[in-house]
Structure 1
Amino acid sequence: MYYVSTRNKGDRRTASEAIEKGLAVDGGLMTPEVLPKLSHNALDTMRDMSYQQRAVYVMNAYLDDFTSSELTAYAAKAYGGGKFDVKEVAPVRQVDSNTYCLELWHGPTCAFKDMALQMLPHLLTASLKKNQETKTVCILVATSGDTGKAALEGFRDVDKTRILVFYPKDGVSAIQELQMNTQEGENVGVCSVVGNFDDAQTGVKKLFSDASLRELLENMGFFLSSANSINWGRVLPQIVYYISAYCDLMREEKIQKGDPVNVCVPTGNFGNILAAYYAKEMGVPIKKLICASNSNNVLTDFLKTGIYDRNRTFYNTMSPSMDILISSNLERMLFALSGHDDAQVREYMAQLNETGRYEVSKSIKDQLGKLFASGYCDDAQTQKVIGAMWKGHHYLIDPHTAVAFDVLDQYRKESGDTTPAIVVSTASPFKFCDNVLGALGVSHVVEGTGALDQLSKLTGISAPAPLAGLKEKRVRFHQSVTKEHMKEQVLEMLL
């Protein structure tokens, strides 16, 4: 199988080449030429498999330059060895008669990014060997909160790698910031950027397209790659958990094979719901993809109107991982729905870069309407949902998951659709103690890591071990730069 750039389908790469480079030279995203389809018996075959076995089964269809034995070894290392605090890795919890919650935060950094970023280092380092790359890879990451820590943990002390994470100053939760700035490892770096996530993400993309920087790094024995979801090696492992969730519901006899389900995903950068779209295209009977946004509702507006417009007020919300106005992975969806029309995608991206907006064709808009529903939820409603879920179901959720539950409720009321739904839960509530405690009626929240104990005492639920352990960690990183000086920070780390 070959991968092509969304902006130039003549740029064809093997899977290992696509994963190694992360981003195409022209700024496009490497995407499969053809999506593999699940065989008629695939869901039955995977029904009684472990999560690790399902990961190998699904990824094998996309990675034909990797062997099954290689992928089996990677899956065992990524999802085994006690890295996840539950055997199921990504368990599905029943909330009510036709609502289920896919919990993706049982890994080492307590967020859904672990599902991909425990796998990516194995895929990337193997790709370097397959391509006989002798230089050290410098991985640049922009994070809205969770990707940064998950990438740092995944690549910590991995041979022939350096990793530098940029996050928006004052744009992540206190626990998220502490997780990153206490990261251990000899090959890691962390730096805040004055501005919001879009500033950090745009800055990283500019570094990738900086020819002089590429040449300078090459002379120093380095090359750039990405651990953001612009890298196909990030998106692919995310497809697995949607297929796995459907198989779990089959195994538990909540559904029969072929029964439709809806999926509701809280997303800002579009990668998480894009993976659900790919699972649907492969053959999982997903009826509706429900895109849930917070007050930064650029995706909601786009899916309803076909107009993408980032020229709007940016809000710092209590669901910071969705505080995004430039949704990078949407480009892969445009490529798919345009019939791989790279010229059309190039034009949309050029308009976005020049004017901050674009409007898709009627054909793409019509397809989006059939595939997606969308809605958004502000902070006040988010807190109400957290409180209601705890009171009504004794189920503790974080703000991002609360946004998804509220948007699902909106969709059901508007459409009357009672199809069983899977809500994607993207982070542990203990990563957002202040807002969760506030939602549960606490007026005085203890500062710092003391809030973990406060939430645990109130709910009777233990804080995840990786978060509880933050109390003993030393803060290692204090750097902060403007977006214009990110290049200097990269060079400082490597010198």
Structure 2
Amino acid sequence: MSELMYGSTRGNGGKVTASQAILKGLAEDGGLYVPEKLPKLSVSFEELAGLSYQETAYVVMKQFLTDFTEEELRSCIARAYDDKFDTEEIVPIKEAAGVYYLELFHGATIAFKDMALSILPHLMVTAAKKNQVRNEIVVLTATSGDTGKAALAGFADVPGTRIIVFYPKDGVSPIQEKQMVTQKGKNTFVVGIHGNFDDAQNGVKKIFRDKELSEELKEHGFQFSSANSINIGRLVPQVVYYAYAYGQLLKKGAVSSGEEINVTVPTGNFGNILAAYYAKLLGVPIGKLICASNENKVLYDFFNTGAYDRNRKFILTSSPSMDILISSNLERLVYKIAGDDAVKDASLMKELSEKGRYEITDEMRKELADFYGAFADEKETAAEIKNLYEKTGYVIDTHTAVASCVYGKYRAETGDGKKALIASTASPYKFTRSVMKAIDEKYNDMEDFALVDVLSQISGVPVPPAIEEIRTAPVLHKTVCEASAMKDIVKQFLEI
């Protein structure tokens, strides 16, 4: 197989190997790395149905990460998808009310981010060795709630790395915050900022673009990388579970070989649904990609009007991981529908940066035929949790409920009866208060961990270790700062 190279969506980052793209995270021109061409699945659907999760991961990832040897890649996969997950399947599929829920939350931090962040540290350390990197890698990440904890858990005490996570102090659930601020590991640092996720993300991007700081870091033996979904080392492992899900549905007899399924994804930064789109381009029989938004419906408006406009009120919702107005990974899709035109992409991203909005051409809009966008408000989200529980006994979290509700809207609007897969992105235990309140208002006055026990009783699902361990864990990270002070905080942590 010839080596697959990566280039920037904005055209000026040069050509790099997969391992170099993973190390850099963001291209030097501010763009995102994309493969020069999208590979194809190298096995038949019938073969896919017979593969374990680890085997599927190898079959998919080897197509994208061509400069990793078989031994390197298999070793990274084996170390990532092991007993950190509470089920041998890694991602079980549950059927409820005639819909298939892909449970992506069986890892160490009970959210879908574990799927990629269990393997990213191993890919990064392997990539550093391959490229003779002597510097310590400083992983810099902004989180809307889940990436932070999953990245911290993945990188904690990994030799040759340090990790700094910024999160919006008042914009995550109490459980999400407790998971982060109790994180152990000498190389971990967690900072709450006064502001929202977009402020945190913009602050991180600004630090990445700071050439002076980059030089200062080099002098002290450090270099930055990213664990956000902009890193191609995050995106590629996410493609895996859509291929695996199709194989499992085929194995169960839920679909026939080659039969298309529709996929619904609760969407914030656009990485998870982009991975489903890449899986479709890889050859997985996916029909519609249904993009589900909460009340921060910037993506819904984009798919319905062709205009992306972040100039709007930021709304704090019960699905905080989707409370995002700048969906960074959308740039990869914009580049693709522009016919891989880096000049066009760069000019649209410049408009977004300067005016807070851009509009795609009619030709580009035609390329979005695979996508459907809709949103669910707070009342609809709560009603979806309650209705599904009362009808089937199955309990879903707030983000999954947004997707489930939007899928119902899609089905009602189009009459499309294809089998449906919903990406279930977090355990209901991660958002216990919102979930229990949706099921019955009477739970509203109970304390967080008392609610956890009631959720276990009504769902029949044991309390995950990730929740048990934070009941009594001491708070280890207490730093809070203004978004404008993020650079100084980084320097302070690295003692430079």
Single out whichever of 42-51 and 193-202 deviates more from structure 2: 42-51
Q: Deviations over 1:297-318 (max 9, x none)?
A: 0000001111000001110000
Q: 1:20 aligns with which of 2, 5, 23?
A: 23
Residue type matched to 2:112 in 1? F
Tell me if structure 2 keeps the 8 A contact 1:3–1:31. yes
1:378 paired residue number = 377
2:51 paired residue number = 49
Q: TM-score, normalised by structure 1?
A: 0.98
Deviation at 1:453, TM superposition (A): 1.8
Tell me if structure 1 keeps the 8 A contact 2:13–2:29. no
Tell me if structure 2 keeps the 8 A contact 1:294–1:403. yes
1:89 paired residue number = 90
Tell me if structure 1 keeps the 8 A contact 2:140–2:164. yes
1:401 paired residue number = 400
Q: Deviations over 1:372-404 (max 9, x none)?
A: 111000111111110001000110000000000
2:320 paired residue number = 320
Deviation at 1:459, TM superposition (A): 3.6
Tell me if structure 2 keeps the 8 A contact 1:389–1:396. yes
Distance in 2 separating the partners of 1:9 and 1:491: 28
Distance in 1 separating the partners of 2:97 and 2:390: 14
Structure 2 gaps of 5+ residues are none
2:422 paired residue number = 423
* 2:63 is the alignment partner of 1:64: no
Q: Deviations over 1:404-439 (max 9, x none)?
A: 000000000000101101001000000111111101
* 2:298 is the alignment partner of 1:298: yes
* 2:262 is the alignment partner of 1:259: no
SS of structure 2 residue aligned to 1:262: strand
Distance in 2 separating the partners of 1:352 and 1:328: 11
Q: RMSD over aligned Cα, in angstroms?
A: 1.0
Deviation at 1:3, TM superposition (A): 0.3
1:73 paired residue number = 75
2:289 paired residue number = 289
1:339 paired residue number = 339
2:432 paired residue number = 433
Q: How does 1:28-427 map to 2 (within 5 A)?
A: 28-39=31-42, 41-80=43-82, 82-97=83-98, 99-368=99-368, 370-427=369-426
Distance in 2 separating the partners of 1:381 and 1:164: 36
SS of structure 2 residue aligned to 1:281: helix
Tell me if structure 1 keeps the 8 A contact 2:34–2:232. yes
Q: How does 1:471-482 map to 2 (within 5 A)?
A: 471-482=471-482
**Counterparts in 2 of 1:361 and 1:405: CA distance versus 1, 3 Å:** same
Tell me if structure 1 keeps the 8 A contact 2:13–2:27. no
Q: Deviations over 1:338-364 (max 9, x none)?
A: 111000000000000000000011111
Q: 2:11 aligns with which of 1, 8, 12?
A: 8
Distance in 2 separating the partners of 1:332 and 1:42: 27
SS of structure 2 residue aligned to 1:224: strand
SS of structure 2 residue aligned to 1:474: coil
Tell me if structure 2 keeps the 8 A contact 1:207–1:213. yes
Distance in 2 separating the partners of 1:205 and 1:194: 17
Distance in 1 separating the partners of 2:47 and 2:383: 41
**Counterparts in 2 of 1:19 and 1:10: CA distance versus 1, 3 Å:** closer
Deviation at 1:472, TM superposition (A): 2.5
Deviation at 1:244, TM superposition (A): 0.4
* Percentage identity across paired residues of the two chains: 50
SS of structure 2 residue aligned to 1:268: coil
Distance in 2 separating the partners of 1:132 and 1:76: 23
Distance in 2 separating the partners of 1:9 and 1:409: 43
Q: Deviations over 1:311-344 (max 9, x none)?
A: 0111000000000000000000011111110000
Q: Deviations over 1:263-283 (max 9, x none)?
A: 000011000000000000011
SS of structure 2 residue aligned to 1:471: coil
Residue type matched to 2:319 in 1? S
Q: Deviations over 1:226-282 (max 9, x none)?
A: 000110000000000000000000111111111010000001100000000000001
Tell me if structure 2 keeps the 8 A contact 1:192–1:481. yes
Deviation at 1:469, TM superposition (A): 1.5
Tell me if structure 2 keeps the 8 A contact 1:449–1:470. no
Deviation at 1:450, TM superposition (A): 3.3
Residue type matched to 1:48 in 2? G
SS of structure 1 residue aligned to 2:469: helix
Distance in 2 separating the partners of 1:461 and 1:65: 42
Distance in 2 separating the partners of 1:493 and 1:177: 20
Single out whichever of 241-250 and 472-481 deviates more from structure 2: 472-481
Residue type matched to 1:76 in 2? A
SS of structure 1 residue aligned to 2:14: strand
Deviation at 1:10, TM superposition (A): 6.1
Tell me if structure 2 keeps the 8 A contact 1:456–1:463. yes
Deviation at 1:44, TM superposition (A): 2.0
Distance in 2 separating the partners of 1:129 and 1:204: 25
